[in-house]
Structure 1
Protein backbone atom coordinates (compact mmCIF):
# COMPACT_ATOMS: atom_id res chain seq x y z
CA UNK A 1 0.00 0.00 0.00
CA UNK A 2 1.47 3.33 -1.09
CA UNK A 3 1.65 6.03 1.57
CA UNK A 4 0.62 9.51 0.44
CA UNK A 5 -0.07 13.03 1.65
CA UNK A 6 -2.76 15.30 0.26
CA UNK A 7 -2.43 19.00 -0.47
CA UNK A 8 -5.47 21.30 -0.63
CA UNK A 9 -5.52 25.00 -1.50
CA UNK A 10 -8.16 27.68 -1.87
CA UNK A 11 -7.55 31.27 -2.86
CA UNK A 12 -9.44 34.53 -3.22
CA UNK A 13 -11.33 33.19 -6.21
CA UNK A 14 -12.71 30.38 -4.06
CA UNK A 15 -14.25 32.96 -1.73
CA UNK A 16 -11.28 33.75 0.50
CA UNK A 17 -8.76 36.54 0.76
CA UNK A 18 -5.62 35.94 -1.29
CA UNK A 19 -2.14 36.45 0.15
CA UNK A 20 1.16 37.02 -1.66
CA UNK A 21 4.58 36.20 -0.29
CA UNK A 22 8.16 35.93 -1.44
CA UNK A 23 9.56 32.42 -1.36
CA UNK A 24 12.18 31.71 1.29
CA UNK A 25 13.55 28.17 1.23
CA UNK A 26 14.84 28.57 4.80
CA UNK A 27 11.24 28.32 5.97
CA UNK A 28 11.30 24.65 5.01
CA UNK A 29 13.47 23.95 8.02
CA UNK A 30 10.82 25.22 10.41
CA UNK A 31 8.35 22.37 10.11
CA UNK A 32 6.55 20.23 12.63
CA UNK A 33 3.97 17.46 12.58
CA UNK A 34 0.98 19.81 12.59
CA UNK A 35 -0.18 19.20 9.05
CA UNK A 36 -3.01 21.67 8.57
CA UNK A 37 -2.23 25.32 7.82
CA UNK A 38 -4.42 28.39 7.42
CA UNK A 39 -3.73 31.80 5.88
CA UNK A 40 -5.06 33.69 8.87
CA UNK A 41 -6.42 32.00 11.97
CA UNK A 42 -8.15 35.23 12.99
CA UNK A 43 -10.16 35.71 9.83
CA UNK A 44 -10.54 32.18 8.53
CA UNK A 45 -12.01 30.04 11.26
CA UNK A 46 -13.46 27.10 9.38
CA UNK A 47 -12.70 24.81 6.47
CA UNK A 48 -14.59 26.05 3.43
CA UNK A 49 -16.85 24.08 1.12
CA UNK A 50 -14.19 24.33 -1.57
CA UNK A 51 -11.65 22.64 0.68
CA UNK A 52 -14.25 20.10 1.75
CA UNK A 53 -14.99 19.27 -1.89
CA UNK A 54 -11.30 18.74 -2.59
CA UNK A 55 -11.01 16.54 0.49
CA UNK A 56 -13.97 14.35 -0.47
CA UNK A 57 -12.69 13.86 -4.01
CA UNK A 58 -9.24 12.85 -2.77
CA UNK A 59 -10.67 10.57 -0.07
CA UNK A 60 -12.74 8.69 -2.66
CA UNK A 61 -9.72 8.29 -4.92
CA UNK A 62 -7.54 7.05 -2.04
CA UNK A 63 -10.10 4.43 -0.97
CA UNK A 64 -10.73 3.27 -4.51
CA UNK A 65 -7.05 2.91 -5.39
CA UNK A 66 -5.77 1.44 -2.13
CA UNK A 67 -3.50 4.27 -0.95
CA UNK A 68 -2.64 4.91 2.70
CA UNK A 69 -3.37 8.52 3.66
CA UNK A 70 -0.70 9.78 6.08
CA UNK A 71 -1.23 13.55 6.34
CA UNK A 72 -3.18 16.47 4.93
CA UNK A 73 -1.81 19.96 4.25
CA UNK A 74 -4.11 22.92 3.65
CA UNK A 75 -3.49 26.50 2.53
CA UNK A 76 -6.59 28.67 2.84
CA UNK A 77 -6.65 32.08 1.21
CA UNK A 78 -3.27 31.85 -0.53
CA UNK A 79 -2.61 32.71 -4.16
CA UNK A 80 -1.36 30.00 -6.49
CA UNK A 81 1.01 32.39 -8.26
CA UNK A 82 3.42 32.36 -5.34
CA UNK A 83 4.87 29.37 -3.53
CA UNK A 84 5.71 30.69 -0.09
CA UNK A 85 2.57 29.16 1.41
CA UNK A 86 2.91 27.79 4.94
CA UNK A 87 1.05 24.56 4.23
CA UNK A 88 2.98 23.92 1.02
CA UNK A 89 6.37 24.62 2.60
CA UNK A 90 5.46 22.52 5.61
CA UNK A 91 4.46 19.66 3.32
CA UNK A 92 7.80 19.65 1.49
CA UNK A 93 9.70 19.54 4.77
CA UNK A 94 7.34 16.97 6.27
CA UNK A 95 7.55 14.43 3.43
CA UNK A 96 11.35 14.68 3.46
CA UNK A 97 11.44 14.19 7.23
CA UNK A 98 9.00 11.26 7.17
CA UNK A 99 10.20 9.69 3.92
CA UNK A 100 6.79 9.80 2.23
CA UNK A 101 7.10 9.83 -1.54
CA UNK A 102 3.64 10.58 -2.92
CA UNK A 103 1.71 13.88 -3.11
CA UNK A 104 -1.92 13.95 -4.18
CA UNK A 105 -3.88 17.03 -5.30
CA UNK A 106 -7.31 17.63 -6.81
CA UNK A 107 -5.73 19.27 -9.87
CA UNK A 108 -2.42 20.84 -10.81
CA UNK A 109 -3.71 24.37 -10.24
CA UNK A 110 -3.85 23.51 -6.51
CA UNK A 111 -0.06 23.08 -6.61
CA UNK A 112 0.33 26.45 -8.27
CA UNK A 113 -0.66 28.79 -11.09
CA UNK A 114 2.82 29.97 -12.04
CA UNK A 115 3.79 28.26 -15.29
CA UNK A 116 7.55 28.40 -14.70
CA UNK A 117 7.63 27.47 -11.01
CA UNK A 118 5.02 24.70 -11.28
CA UNK A 119 6.91 23.31 -14.25
CA UNK A 120 10.16 23.39 -12.29
CA UNK A 121 8.56 21.43 -9.46
CA UNK A 122 7.04 18.80 -11.74
CA UNK A 123 9.99 18.40 -14.10
CA UNK A 124 12.93 18.78 -11.72
CA UNK A 125 12.27 19.03 -7.98
CA UNK A 126 9.81 16.16 -7.56
CA UNK A 127 11.62 13.71 -9.92
CA UNK A 128 15.02 14.47 -8.33
CA UNK A 129 13.56 13.75 -4.89
CA UNK A 130 11.73 10.64 -6.08
CA UNK A 131 8.33 12.14 -5.26
CA UNK A 132 5.29 10.84 -7.09
CA UNK A 133 2.62 13.41 -7.97
CA UNK A 134 -1.01 12.49 -8.61
CA UNK A 135 -3.50 15.05 -9.92
CA UNK A 136 -6.88 13.36 -9.68
CA UNK A 137 -9.09 15.63 -11.82
CA UNK A 138 -6.40 15.95 -14.48
CA UNK A 139 -5.93 12.17 -14.61
CA UNK A 140 -2.20 12.66 -14.12
CA UNK A 141 0.14 10.26 -12.31
CA UNK A 142 3.84 11.01 -12.67
CA UNK A 143 4.70 7.31 -12.23
CA UNK A 144 2.51 6.33 -15.18
CA UNK A 145 2.83 9.39 -17.41
CA UNK A 146 4.29 8.89 -20.87
CA UNK A 147 6.43 11.36 -22.80
CA UNK A 148 3.41 13.07 -24.38
CA UNK A 149 1.80 13.69 -20.98
CA UNK A 150 5.00 14.95 -19.36
CA UNK A 151 6.18 17.19 -22.18
CA UNK A 152 2.94 18.37 -23.81
CA UNK A 153 -0.22 17.79 -21.76
CA UNK A 154 1.08 18.86 -18.35
CA UNK A 155 2.93 21.99 -19.58
CA UNK A 156 -0.23 22.97 -21.47
CA UNK A 157 -2.33 22.54 -18.30
CA UNK A 158 0.16 24.66 -16.36
CA UNK A 159 0.04 27.35 -19.04
CA UNK A 160 -3.77 27.41 -18.89
CA UNK A 161 -3.67 27.65 -15.10
CA UNK A 162 -1.23 30.55 -15.34
CA UNK A 163 -3.40 32.26 -17.95
CA UNK A 164 -6.42 31.91 -15.69
CA UNK A 165 -4.59 33.73 -12.88
CA UNK A 166 -3.59 36.48 -15.30
CA UNK A 167 -7.14 36.81 -16.62
CA UNK A 168 -8.61 37.08 -13.12
CA UNK A 169 -5.98 39.68 -12.19
CA UNK A 170 -6.86 41.79 -15.24
CA UNK A 171 -10.58 41.61 -14.47
CA UNK A 172 -10.06 42.58 -10.84
CA UNK A 173 -7.78 45.46 -11.84
CA UNK A 174 -10.32 46.73 -14.38
CA UNK A 175 -13.15 46.46 -11.85
CA UNK A 176 -11.13 48.48 -9.33
CA UNK A 177 -10.33 51.09 -12.00
CA UNK A 178 -14.03 51.54 -12.79
CA UNK A 179 -14.87 51.90 -9.09
CA UNK A 180 -12.11 54.47 -8.55
CA UNK A 181 -13.17 56.54 -11.54
CA UNK A 182 -16.78 56.56 -10.33
CA UNK A 183 -15.66 57.91 -6.96
CA UNK A 184 -16.07 54.70 -4.98
CA UNK A 185 -13.62 54.06 -2.17
CA UNK A 186 -11.94 50.66 -2.55
CA UNK A 187 -9.49 50.69 0.36
CA UNK A 188 -9.65 47.87 2.89
CA UNK A 189 -9.86 50.36 5.76
CA UNK A 190 -11.14 53.92 5.95
CA UNK A 191 -8.72 56.85 6.10
CA UNK A 192 -8.31 58.30 9.61
CA UNK A 193 -11.10 60.81 10.15
CA UNK A 194 -13.60 58.72 8.22
CA UNK A 195 -15.40 55.41 8.48
CA UNK A 196 -17.14 53.24 5.93
CA UNK A 197 -20.85 53.74 5.52
CA UNK A 198 -22.96 50.97 7.00
CA UNK A 199 -25.11 50.89 3.87
CA UNK A 200 -22.30 51.16 1.29
CA UNK A 201 -18.78 49.92 2.01
CA UNK A 202 -17.47 51.88 -0.98
CA UNK A 203 -18.57 55.20 0.52
CA UNK A 204 -16.82 57.11 3.30
CA UNK A 205 -18.63 59.11 5.96
CA UNK A 206 -17.16 61.32 8.67
CA UNK A 207 -16.05 59.70 11.92
CA UNK A 208 -16.90 62.49 14.34
CA UNK A 209 -14.32 61.53 16.99
CA UNK A 210 -11.36 61.19 14.61
CA UNK A 211 -12.49 64.13 12.46
CA UNK A 212 -12.31 66.38 15.51
CA UNK A 213 -8.63 65.43 15.91
CA UNK A 214 -7.98 66.05 12.20
CA UNK A 215 -9.48 69.54 12.50
CA UNK A 216 -7.36 70.17 15.57
CA UNK A 217 -4.20 69.22 13.68
CA UNK A 218 -4.94 71.68 10.88
CA UNK A 219 -5.94 74.42 13.32
CA UNK A 220 -2.73 73.96 15.31
CA UNK A 221 -0.61 73.90 12.17
CA UNK A 222 -2.24 77.10 10.89
CA UNK A 223 -1.61 78.66 14.32
CA UNK A 224 2.10 77.99 13.84
CA UNK A 225 2.62 74.68 15.64
CA UNK A 226 5.23 72.36 14.16
CA UNK A 227 4.47 68.65 13.68
CA UNK A 228 6.73 67.91 16.64
CA UNK A 229 4.80 70.29 18.92
CA UNK A 230 1.47 68.83 17.82
CA UNK A 231 2.77 65.34 18.58
CA UNK A 232 3.97 66.37 22.00
CA UNK A 233 0.61 67.92 22.86
CA UNK A 234 -1.39 64.92 21.65
CA UNK A 235 0.75 62.40 23.50
CA UNK A 236 0.51 64.45 26.70
CA UNK A 237 -3.28 64.54 26.31
CA UNK A 238 -3.21 60.77 25.63
CA UNK A 239 -5.09 61.14 22.36
CA UNK A 240 -5.04 57.78 20.57
CA UNK A 241 -2.75 57.66 17.53
CA UNK A 242 -4.46 56.82 14.20
CA UNK A 243 -3.16 53.26 14.42
CA UNK A 244 -4.35 52.70 17.99
CA UNK A 245 -7.69 54.40 17.27
CA UNK A 246 -8.35 52.11 14.31
CA UNK A 247 -7.26 49.06 16.29
CA UNK A 248 -9.63 50.06 19.09
CA UNK A 249 -12.52 50.36 16.63
CA UNK A 250 -11.63 47.52 14.26
CA UNK A 251 -9.89 44.44 15.65
CA UNK A 252 -8.99 43.30 12.11
CA UNK A 253 -7.17 46.52 11.21
CA UNK A 254 -3.72 45.94 9.69
CA UNK A 255 -1.19 48.21 8.02
CA UNK A 256 2.20 47.75 6.40
CA UNK A 257 3.43 50.69 8.51
CA UNK A 258 2.66 48.97 11.83
CA UNK A 259 5.43 48.90 14.42
CA UNK A 260 5.87 49.41 18.15
CA UNK A 261 6.22 53.20 17.69
CA UNK A 262 2.74 53.51 16.24
CA UNK A 263 1.09 53.23 19.65
CA UNK A 264 1.86 56.95 20.09
CA UNK A 265 1.74 59.98 17.81
CA UNK A 266 4.79 60.62 15.64
CA UNK A 267 5.65 63.61 13.42
CA UNK A 268 5.22 61.54 10.25
CA UNK A 269 1.66 60.65 11.36
CA UNK A 270 0.81 64.35 11.58
CA UNK A 271 2.51 65.18 8.27
CA UNK A 272 0.66 62.35 6.52
CA UNK A 273 -2.64 63.89 7.64
CA UNK A 274 -1.57 67.43 6.70
CA UNK A 275 -0.60 66.27 3.20
CA UNK A 276 -3.74 64.25 2.48
CA UNK A 277 -6.21 66.15 0.29
CA UNK A 278 -9.01 63.75 1.13
CA UNK A 279 -9.86 66.01 4.07
CA UNK A 280 -10.94 68.69 1.57
CA UNK A 281 -13.34 66.26 -0.11
CA UNK A 282 -10.95 65.10 -2.86
CA UNK A 283 -10.67 61.31 -3.08
CA UNK A 284 -7.26 60.30 -4.44
CA UNK A 285 -6.74 56.63 -5.28
CA UNK A 286 -4.57 54.51 -7.53
CA UNK A 287 -1.34 55.97 -6.17
CA UNK A 288 0.53 52.69 -6.59
CA UNK A 289 0.28 49.57 -8.72
CA UNK A 290 1.60 46.03 -8.61
CA UNK A 291 4.48 45.21 -10.96
CA UNK A 292 2.50 42.25 -12.32
CA UNK A 293 -0.06 39.69 -11.25
CA UNK A 294 2.59 37.35 -9.83
CA UNK A 295 4.45 39.81 -7.61
CA UNK A 296 3.08 41.67 -4.61
CA UNK A 297 5.68 44.44 -4.90
CA UNK A 298 4.13 47.82 -5.67
CA UNK A 299 5.58 50.90 -7.35
CA UNK A 300 4.57 54.53 -6.77
CA UNK A 301 2.84 56.34 -9.62
CA UNK A 302 3.25 59.98 -10.60
CA UNK A 303 0.51 62.26 -9.28
CA UNK A 304 -0.74 62.78 -12.84
CA UNK A 305 -1.63 59.08 -12.93
CA UNK A 306 -3.69 59.09 -9.73
CA UNK A 307 -7.46 58.84 -9.94
CA UNK A 308 -8.90 61.96 -8.28
CA UNK A 309 -12.61 62.56 -7.68
CA UNK A 310 -13.94 65.70 -6.02
CA UNK A 311 -16.95 65.90 -3.74
CA UNK A 312 -17.24 62.12 -3.41
CA UNK A 313 -16.33 62.23 0.29
CA UNK A 314 -17.53 64.82 2.83
CA UNK A 315 -14.91 67.49 3.55
CA UNK A 316 -13.55 67.86 7.09
CA UNK A 317 -11.66 71.09 6.34
CA UNK A 318 -11.81 73.71 3.60
CA UNK A 319 -9.40 73.88 0.66
CA UNK A 320 -8.16 77.21 2.03
CA UNK A 321 -7.32 75.62 5.37
CA UNK A 322 -5.47 72.81 3.62
CA UNK A 323 -3.48 75.22 1.47
CA UNK A 324 -2.57 77.51 4.35
CA UNK A 325 -1.59 74.62 6.63
CA UNK A 326 0.85 73.41 3.99
CA UNK A 327 2.56 76.76 3.50
CA UNK A 328 5.75 76.98 5.53
CA UNK A 329 5.94 79.61 8.27
CA UNK A 330 8.71 81.47 6.44
CA UNK A 331 6.60 81.75 3.29
CA UNK A 332 3.57 82.92 5.28
CA UNK A 333 5.50 85.94 6.49
CA UNK A 334 6.14 86.95 2.87
CA UNK A 335 2.44 86.84 2.00
Structure 2
Protein backbone atom coordinates (compact mmCIF):
# COMPACT_ATOMS: atom_id res chain seq x y z
CA UNK A 1 0.00 0.00 0.00
CA UNK A 2 1.14 3.55 -0.71
CA UNK A 3 2.21 5.84 2.07
CA UNK A 4 0.32 9.02 3.02
CA UNK A 5 3.18 11.15 1.70
CA UNK A 6 2.03 10.31 -1.84
CA UNK A 7 -0.71 12.93 -1.52
CA UNK A 8 1.19 15.61 0.34
CA UNK A 9 2.35 18.80 -1.32
CA UNK A 10 0.18 18.28 -4.39
CA UNK A 11 1.26 21.70 -5.70
CA UNK A 12 4.70 20.17 -6.27
CA UNK A 13 3.52 17.13 -8.24
CA UNK A 14 1.16 18.17 -11.06
CA UNK A 15 1.25 16.63 -14.51
CA UNK A 16 1.27 18.63 -17.74
CA UNK A 17 -1.84 18.56 -19.93
CA UNK A 18 -1.50 18.90 -23.70
CA UNK A 19 -3.20 22.22 -24.61
CA UNK A 20 -4.56 20.51 -27.72
CA UNK A 21 -5.97 17.49 -25.85
CA UNK A 22 -9.67 17.09 -26.71
CA UNK A 23 -12.19 17.35 -23.89
CA UNK A 24 -14.75 14.55 -23.49
CA UNK A 25 -17.58 16.05 -21.46
CA UNK A 26 -20.57 14.34 -19.86
CA UNK A 27 -23.37 16.70 -18.80
CA UNK A 28 -26.10 15.37 -16.52
CA UNK A 29 -29.46 16.55 -17.86
CA UNK A 30 -31.46 13.77 -16.19
CA UNK A 31 -33.51 16.24 -14.14
CA UNK A 32 -35.04 17.48 -17.37
CA UNK A 33 -34.74 21.16 -16.47
CA UNK A 34 -34.02 23.97 -18.90
CA UNK A 35 -30.90 24.74 -16.88
CA UNK A 36 -29.01 21.90 -18.59
CA UNK A 37 -29.68 23.52 -21.98
CA UNK A 38 -28.20 26.80 -20.75
CA UNK A 39 -25.17 25.04 -19.25
CA UNK A 40 -24.55 23.21 -22.51
CA UNK A 41 -24.69 26.43 -24.52
CA UNK A 42 -22.23 28.13 -22.17
CA UNK A 43 -19.76 25.23 -22.33
CA UNK A 44 -19.92 25.02 -26.11
CA UNK A 45 -19.55 28.78 -26.55
CA UNK A 46 -16.54 29.04 -24.23
CA UNK A 47 -14.67 26.11 -25.74
CA UNK A 48 -15.34 27.16 -29.34
CA UNK A 49 -14.06 30.64 -28.57
CA UNK A 50 -10.93 29.08 -27.05
CA UNK A 51 -10.46 26.90 -30.13
CA UNK A 52 -10.47 23.70 -28.05
CA UNK A 53 -11.75 20.43 -29.51
CA UNK A 54 -14.43 18.69 -27.46
CA UNK A 55 -17.23 16.16 -27.48
CA UNK A 56 -20.24 16.68 -25.22
CA UNK A 57 -22.61 13.86 -24.23
CA UNK A 58 -25.91 14.44 -22.45
CA UNK A 59 -27.19 12.00 -19.84
CA UNK A 60 -30.99 12.15 -19.88
CA UNK A 61 -31.61 9.06 -17.72
CA UNK A 62 -29.76 8.67 -14.43
CA UNK A 63 -29.53 4.89 -14.77
CA UNK A 64 -27.40 5.20 -17.92
CA UNK A 65 -24.64 7.39 -16.49
CA UNK A 66 -22.28 4.51 -15.62
CA UNK A 67 -22.41 3.22 -19.21
CA UNK A 68 -21.95 6.71 -20.64
CA UNK A 69 -19.01 7.29 -18.29
CA UNK A 70 -17.23 4.09 -19.37
CA UNK A 71 -17.74 4.87 -23.05
CA UNK A 72 -16.53 8.45 -22.57
CA UNK A 73 -13.34 7.32 -20.82
CA UNK A 74 -12.70 4.77 -23.57
CA UNK A 75 -12.89 7.50 -26.21
CA UNK A 76 -10.74 9.84 -24.14
CA UNK A 77 -8.03 7.19 -23.86
CA UNK A 78 -8.13 6.54 -27.60
CA UNK A 79 -7.55 10.23 -28.32
CA UNK A 80 -5.27 11.11 -25.37
CA UNK A 81 -8.02 13.37 -24.10
CA UNK A 82 -9.39 14.77 -20.87
CA UNK A 83 -12.50 13.41 -19.13
CA UNK A 84 -14.92 16.06 -17.81
CA UNK A 85 -17.96 15.68 -15.53
CA UNK A 86 -20.60 18.43 -15.53
CA UNK A 87 -23.06 17.85 -12.70
CA UNK A 88 -23.40 17.32 -8.98
CA UNK A 89 -21.43 15.07 -6.65
CA UNK A 90 -23.21 11.94 -7.94
CA UNK A 91 -22.31 12.69 -11.55
CA UNK A 92 -18.73 13.54 -10.59
CA UNK A 93 -18.52 10.27 -8.65
CA UNK A 94 -19.69 8.18 -11.61
CA UNK A 95 -17.19 9.84 -13.93
CA UNK A 96 -14.38 9.49 -11.40
CA UNK A 97 -15.21 5.79 -11.00
CA UNK A 98 -14.67 5.26 -14.72
CA UNK A 99 -11.63 7.56 -14.95
CA UNK A 100 -9.56 6.23 -12.02
CA UNK A 101 -6.66 4.19 -13.38
CA UNK A 102 -7.24 5.26 -17.00
CA UNK A 103 -4.37 7.74 -17.13
CA UNK A 104 -6.72 10.50 -18.33
CA UNK A 105 -6.73 13.92 -16.64
CA UNK A 106 -10.06 14.77 -15.01
CA UNK A 107 -12.05 18.00 -15.02
CA UNK A 108 -15.36 19.06 -13.52
CA UNK A 109 -17.99 21.74 -14.04
CA UNK A 110 -19.89 21.75 -10.71
CA UNK A 111 -23.68 21.86 -10.94
CA UNK A 112 -24.91 20.33 -7.65
CA UNK A 113 -26.48 21.69 -4.46
CA UNK A 114 -23.55 21.30 -2.05
CA UNK A 115 -20.56 20.84 -4.40
CA UNK A 116 -18.19 19.79 -1.63
CA UNK A 117 -15.67 18.33 -4.06
CA UNK A 118 -15.54 21.38 -6.31
CA UNK A 119 -15.44 23.86 -3.43
CA UNK A 120 -12.65 21.96 -1.68
CA UNK A 121 -10.48 22.33 -4.78
CA UNK A 122 -11.40 26.00 -5.39
CA UNK A 123 -13.31 25.26 -8.58
CA UNK A 124 -15.71 28.05 -9.57
CA UNK A 125 -19.45 27.36 -9.32
CA UNK A 126 -20.00 29.79 -12.17
CA UNK A 127 -20.23 27.71 -15.36
CA UNK A 128 -18.26 30.14 -17.52
CA UNK A 129 -15.36 30.30 -15.07
CA UNK A 130 -15.43 26.54 -14.43
CA UNK A 131 -15.27 25.86 -18.17
CA UNK A 132 -12.22 28.11 -18.49
CA UNK A 133 -10.47 26.07 -15.77
CA UNK A 134 -10.62 23.11 -18.20
CA UNK A 135 -8.02 24.95 -20.28
CA UNK A 136 -5.49 24.78 -17.43
CA UNK A 137 -2.07 23.41 -18.40
CA UNK A 138 -1.62 21.38 -15.19
CA UNK A 139 -3.58 18.65 -13.40
CA UNK A 140 -3.01 17.96 -9.69
CA UNK A 141 -3.20 14.61 -7.83
CA UNK A 142 -6.39 14.22 -5.79
CA UNK A 143 -6.91 11.57 -3.13
CA UNK A 144 -9.60 8.97 -3.88
CA UNK A 145 -11.41 6.81 -1.34
CA UNK A 146 -12.65 3.30 -2.08
CA UNK A 147 -15.36 1.27 -0.37
CA UNK A 148 -14.88 -2.24 -1.74
CA UNK A 149 -14.37 -1.33 -5.41
CA UNK A 150 -16.50 1.84 -5.45
CA UNK A 151 -14.95 5.30 -5.61
CA UNK A 152 -15.88 8.10 -3.27
CA UNK A 153 -14.47 11.62 -3.40
CA UNK A 154 -16.52 13.19 -0.60
CA UNK A 155 -17.85 10.49 1.74
CA UNK A 156 -19.15 6.95 2.13
CA UNK A 157 -21.42 5.71 4.89
CA UNK A 158 -23.56 2.97 6.40
CA UNK A 159 -26.75 3.12 8.47
CA UNK A 160 -28.55 6.39 9.20
CA UNK A 161 -26.76 8.58 6.65
CA UNK A 162 -27.77 6.51 3.57
CA UNK A 163 -31.36 6.65 4.84
CA UNK A 164 -31.09 10.45 5.17
CA UNK A 165 -29.96 10.62 1.54
CA UNK A 166 -32.80 8.39 0.29
CA UNK A 167 -35.40 10.47 2.10
CA UNK A 168 -33.76 13.68 0.90
CA UNK A 169 -34.17 12.64 -2.74
CA UNK A 170 -37.84 11.85 -2.14
CA UNK A 171 -38.49 15.30 -0.68
CA UNK A 172 -36.41 17.07 -3.32
CA UNK A 173 -38.56 15.54 -6.06
CA UNK A 174 -41.66 16.88 -4.31
CA UNK A 175 -40.45 20.23 -2.96
CA UNK A 176 -37.45 21.21 -5.09
CA UNK A 177 -33.68 21.09 -4.74
CA UNK A 178 -32.40 23.47 -2.12
CA UNK A 179 -30.51 23.26 1.16
CA UNK A 180 -33.55 23.94 3.37
CA UNK A 181 -35.37 20.94 1.89
CA UNK A 182 -32.26 18.84 2.45
CA UNK A 183 -31.98 19.96 6.09
CA UNK A 184 -35.65 19.47 6.97
CA UNK A 185 -35.83 16.06 5.32
CA UNK A 186 -32.77 15.03 7.32
CA UNK A 187 -34.48 16.10 10.55
CA UNK A 188 -37.54 14.01 9.63
CA UNK A 189 -35.36 10.94 9.05
CA UNK A 190 -33.56 11.31 12.39
CA UNK A 191 -36.92 11.51 14.19
CA UNK A 192 -38.09 8.24 12.64
CA UNK A 193 -34.87 6.19 12.44
CA UNK A 194 -34.28 3.74 15.31
CA UNK A 195 -32.01 1.06 13.84
CA UNK A 196 -28.51 0.26 15.08
CA UNK A 197 -25.56 -1.33 13.33
CA UNK A 198 -23.68 -4.05 15.22
CA UNK A 199 -20.27 -4.04 13.58
CA UNK A 200 -16.82 -5.52 13.96
CA UNK A 201 -13.99 -3.33 12.69
CA UNK A 202 -10.53 -4.58 11.72
CA UNK A 203 -8.05 -1.74 12.10
CA UNK A 204 -4.25 -1.97 12.28
CA UNK A 205 -4.38 -5.70 12.98
CA UNK A 206 -6.87 -5.37 15.84
CA UNK A 207 -10.57 -6.27 15.91
CA UNK A 208 -13.08 -4.22 17.89
CA UNK A 209 -16.86 -4.08 18.08
CA UNK A 210 -19.01 -1.03 17.52
CA UNK A 211 -22.72 -0.41 18.03
CA UNK A 212 -23.84 2.74 16.22
CA UNK A 213 -26.74 4.13 14.18
CA UNK A 214 -24.30 5.22 11.47
CA UNK A 215 -20.71 4.91 10.29
CA UNK A 216 -19.53 7.85 8.19
CA UNK A 217 -16.19 7.88 6.35
CA UNK A 218 -15.01 11.26 5.09
CA UNK A 219 -12.62 12.03 2.25
CA UNK A 220 -13.30 15.75 1.98
CA UNK A 221 -11.49 18.34 4.07
CA UNK A 222 -14.16 21.05 3.64
CA UNK A 223 -17.05 18.86 4.79
CA UNK A 224 -15.11 17.53 7.78
CA UNK A 225 -14.04 21.04 8.78
CA UNK A 226 -17.61 22.33 8.54
CA UNK A 227 -18.93 19.76 11.01
CA UNK A 228 -15.95 20.25 13.34
CA UNK A 229 -13.91 17.07 13.00
CA UNK A 230 -10.31 17.46 14.15
CA UNK A 231 -8.91 14.95 11.61
CA UNK A 232 -10.13 17.01 8.63
CA UNK A 233 -6.62 17.66 7.29
CA UNK A 234 -5.94 13.96 6.65
CA UNK A 235 -8.25 14.09 3.64
CA UNK A 236 -5.38 15.70 1.72
CA UNK A 237 -2.66 13.49 3.16
CA UNK A 238 -3.34 9.87 2.32
CA UNK A 239 -5.88 8.98 5.02
CA UNK A 240 -9.64 8.85 5.51
CA UNK A 241 -11.65 9.76 8.61
CA UNK A 242 -14.21 7.47 10.26
CA UNK A 243 -16.96 9.01 12.39
CA UNK A 244 -19.42 6.99 14.47
CA UNK A 245 -22.05 7.92 17.05
CA UNK A 246 -22.59 5.88 20.16
CA UNK A 247 -26.21 4.76 20.69
CA UNK A 248 -28.26 7.74 21.89
CA UNK A 249 -31.91 8.73 22.14
CA UNK A 250 -33.65 10.76 19.45
CA UNK A 251 -33.36 14.08 21.29
CA UNK A 252 -29.60 13.65 21.72
CA UNK A 253 -29.27 12.70 18.05
CA UNK A 254 -31.02 15.93 17.05
CA UNK A 255 -28.68 17.83 19.34
CA UNK A 256 -25.70 16.22 17.62
CA UNK A 257 -27.13 17.34 14.29
CA UNK A 258 -27.22 20.94 15.53
CA UNK A 259 -23.66 20.61 16.84
CA UNK A 260 -22.57 19.43 13.40
CA UNK A 261 -24.30 22.43 11.80
CA UNK A 262 -22.39 24.69 14.20
CA UNK A 263 -19.06 22.99 13.46
CA UNK A 264 -18.78 21.39 16.91
CA UNK A 265 -19.52 17.70 16.27
CA UNK A 266 -16.00 16.55 17.12
CA UNK A 267 -16.34 17.97 20.65
CA UNK A 268 -19.42 15.86 21.50
CA UNK A 269 -19.02 13.05 24.06
CA UNK A 270 -21.08 10.59 21.99
CA UNK A 271 -18.95 10.93 18.83
CA UNK A 272 -15.99 8.70 17.99
CA UNK A 273 -13.61 9.63 15.16
CA UNK A 274 -10.26 8.36 13.93
CA UNK A 275 -8.13 8.52 10.78
CA UNK A 276 -6.93 5.50 8.82
CA UNK A 277 -5.67 4.19 5.51
CA UNK A 278 -7.68 0.97 5.55
CA UNK A 279 -10.38 -0.65 7.72
CA UNK A 280 -12.65 -3.67 7.24
CA UNK A 281 -16.22 -3.52 8.55
CA UNK A 282 -18.74 -6.36 8.81
CA UNK A 283 -21.83 -7.29 10.84
CA UNK A 284 -20.84 -8.52 14.29
CA UNK A 285 -23.35 -11.38 14.29
CA UNK A 286 -22.32 -14.71 12.79
CA UNK A 287 -25.40 -14.74 10.58
CA UNK A 288 -25.33 -11.05 9.77
CA UNK A 289 -26.53 -9.51 6.54
CA UNK A 290 -24.54 -10.42 3.43
CA UNK A 291 -25.38 -7.13 1.71
CA UNK A 292 -25.23 -3.73 3.37
CA UNK A 293 -26.70 -0.45 2.12
CA UNK A 294 -23.87 1.99 1.43
CA UNK A 295 -23.94 5.62 0.28
CA UNK A 296 -21.06 6.95 -1.83
CA UNK A 297 -21.11 10.68 -2.64
CA UNK A 298 -24.89 10.70 -2.31
CA UNK A 299 -25.55 7.58 -4.41
CA UNK A 300 -27.06 4.51 -2.72
CA UNK A 301 -25.97 0.95 -3.47
CA UNK A 302 -25.77 -2.44 -1.74
CA UNK A 303 -22.34 -3.96 -1.24
CA UNK A 304 -21.38 -7.45 -0.19
CA UNK A 305 -20.04 -7.82 3.34
CA UNK A 306 -17.30 -7.44 4.50
CA UNK A 307 -17.00 -3.76 3.62
CA UNK A 308 -13.48 -2.43 3.15
CA UNK A 309 -12.75 1.30 3.25
CA UNK A 310 -9.35 2.36 1.98
CA UNK A 311 -7.39 5.05 0.17
CA UNK A 312 -6.91 4.20 -3.51
CA UNK A 313 -3.36 3.31 -4.53
CA UNK A 314 -3.38 6.02 -7.19
CA UNK A 315 -4.91 9.50 -7.38
CA UNK A 316 -7.06 11.24 -9.93
CA UNK A 317 -5.34 14.12 -11.71
CA UNK A 318 -7.67 17.10 -11.53
CA UNK A 319 -7.66 20.25 -13.63
CA UNK A 320 -7.97 23.02 -11.08
CA UNK A 321 -6.56 26.42 -10.13
CA UNK A 322 -3.01 26.22 -8.85
CA UNK A 323 -3.02 25.54 -5.08
CA UNK A 324 -1.85 28.39 -2.89
CA UNK A 325 1.33 27.37 -1.13
CA UNK A 326 1.21 27.81 2.62
CA UNK A 327 3.95 29.97 4.11
**Higher relative contact order at CA 8 Å, sep ≥6: structure 1 or structure 2?**
2
**Bigger radius of gyration, 1 or 2?**
1
- Give the TM-score normalised by the residue count of structure 1: 0.30
TM-score (norm 2): 0.31
More helix by share: 1
Greater share of strand: 2
